[in-house]
A and B are shown apart, each in its own frame.
Chain A
């Protein structure tokens, strides 16, 4: 048995060597948690991959594996890509965090990029998007547009990412409309179109005339369209097929600029481990075309917020903001630090209900 393990170690070393040998083509691997046809999260990552191909043409070779379960399967797929000579591997789900770190340890010459996680090492970078900036724009439009003063919000699981989005949207809706109320339902699933449709219908029946969603399917859009005077926002992808009503705008995950930049860095030999958390400014969060269903002055206000977020003159969490229980969080003019935002597990003042545990 000792011999086998020795052999294995030696061979792994060999694998490293193969990977390290300079090739004319830069090989980039992508590990996806869902199918590329999910029309949302994985679809947008794959669009990013295609953009890399379009940018570099023959100089790059991309490979991907879809529907990779988190855990040992993902570890195997990453290892396989590294063995097959990938220079750079993007792992695009939070649950790939520990597997990515494990595999990266074995392949110090391969660069890894893990989406939405917080563990890094010399050859592992992390990247994520400040979707909450997009939520600020949505919240502004929602606050102006609602007539019933009830905004419905479909959450997936009660995790910081989703809670952050709810808070950001709420703060900005309140800013332009002090009477606005949020109704939040948790679907407890990442993906179940039928349930998402039900959730949207329920919110509409309870008086919501704006639906925000943190789930990926277009089911809520269709429910809003059937209901009539309800507006929605595209999530993850533009969902422009539902414009100009009910979809009045969208948050688009645009990974292309980042993927191109990092691939270029590997080609140039300038790649370094870092933590990227980009927003509207860097183009990672796209705001889809605001449709004509939105009055000109509202559109203007939304674009103004977008512009100030983009140039960094405004932070979506700027004090004074209190927590839901009335305690102080941010003082006048103070902005939230990334650490607090990353682990956000509280509602801000004015939101009703509790975050489920």
Chain B
């Protein structure tokens, strides 16, 4: 056993990278759920984002265009969910699962000619002096731009929900759609925007995996990250900063357990791997005691009657 082999600076830096796809997807889903919609199709939107971003990056040579495309791809797929749940008033749980099934298949079809290709790389932030600072340099200033975008999005969503009218309306719609409707808010329109935002974020998260974290395209490469993102939203009790913290914790568990293994510590891997889920359940139990938890209208179908 050699714990000194673990470099805490690098550990923190790499858990930030591991956390980013989960964070991006979770922030999007958080907004969706705040608006009272439960979209279980995150995994499907992520994988479609992953291939959209990958394909456009390879074709255009620009990772920036790729990320843009991934957001558009994810949002377009979420439109299917919109059609089902907001227009056709179908059950959200079933629609979300169907979306994931469809997205996994669709992405494989799209990606058939992209297997085994190496995409152009996105440069890392490199600020002279700052990036070279000991300890905080690599942690704060040594990442790719999308990682910062994830943090910025977290801040933006937090500010939006807390301080703006849009946020207030969004929360009102999620808490009680009938009351919100009575107040004259366009419940369906607001939810559609939220779902598309969620789709775009999930798409970005997927592309982060296929363009930065791995980077390659293989079928089914998101390998369940979308489901972890769903868990994370609950873990965070629908609060953006807690989602950031939770993403680092979830990503951290993986990175730390790999670090411990490499350092020769005998750990029961499968039990560590289940720990994020168990922690989420425990957090849920504590949360459900105070009533500030889930948006009250979560998952319920809204139909305006006169």
Interface on A for B, CB 8 Å cutoff? 34-35, 37-40, 43, 152, 183-186, 188-189, 191-199, 201-203, 205-208, 217-219, 222, 237, 241-242, 352-354, 356
Contacts and interface: CB of A to CB of B under 8 A. Distances in A.
Contacts of B83: none
A276 B187 CA distance: 66
Contact of B21 (A192, A194, A208, A242): A194
B223 interface: yes
B214 A37 contact: no
Interface in B20-35: 21
Given A188-B273, A206-B7, A194 B209 contact: yes
Given A37-B218, A203-B262, A241-B116, A356 B269 contact: yes
Contacts of A194: 18, 21, 209, 213-214, 221-223, 225
Interface residues of B, number: 42
A201 B17 CA distance: 11
B283 interface: no
Interface centre among B254, B258, B259, B262 (most CB of A within 10 A): B262
Contacts of A205: 6-7, 10-11, 14, 259
B14 A195 contact: no
A37 B112 contact: yes
Given A35-B108, A222-B216, A356-B269, A206 B6 contact: yes
B137 interface: no
A166 to B, nearest CB: 13
A206 B219 CA distance: 30
A180 to B, nearest CB: 15
A2 to B, nearest CB: 40
B216 A219 contact: yes
Nearest to B257: A185
B216 A218 contact: yes
Interface in B245-274: 254-255, 258-259, 261-264, 266, 268-270, 273
7 contacts: A183-B262, A192-B224, A193-B209, A217-B218, A218-B116, A218-B118, A222-B214
Given A37-B108, A193-B223, A202-B258, 15 more contacts: A35-B220, A37-B112, A39-B115, A188-B273, A189-B223, A193-B216, A193-B221, A194-B209, A194-B214, A197-B213, A201-B14, A206-B6, A206-B263, A218-B216, A353-B264
A278 B214 CA distance: 32
Contacts of B223: 189, 191-195
3 A-B pairs with least C-beta separation: A205-B10, A192-B223, A35-B219
A330 B271 CA distance: 36
Contacts of B14: 198, 201-202, 205
A152 B262 contact: yes
B254 to A, nearest CB: 6
A274 to B, nearest CB: 33
Given A39-B116, A193-B223, A198-B18, A217 B214 contact: yes
A37 B115 CA distance: 6
B111 interface: yes
A237 B262 contact: no
A198 B262 contact: no
Contact of A193 (B18, B214, B273): B214
Contact of A186 (B7, B118, B269): B269
Contacts of A237: 116
B218 A39 contact: yes
A106 to B, nearest CB: 32
Nearest to B9: A205
B80 to A, nearest CB: 23
A202 B116 contact: no
Given A194-B21, A197-B213, A198-B255, A37 B219 contact: yes
A185 B258 contact: yes
B117 interface: yes
A151 to B, nearest CB: 11
Contacts of B259: 202, 205-206
B98 interface: no
B215 interface: yes
B159 interface: no
B125 to A, nearest CB: 14
Interface centre among A199, A206, A208 (most CB of B within 10 A): A206
Contacts of A39: 115-116, 216, 218
Nearest to A353: B264
Contacts of A196: 214
B179 interface: no
B218 A38 contact: yes
A198 B269 contact: no
B5 interface: yes
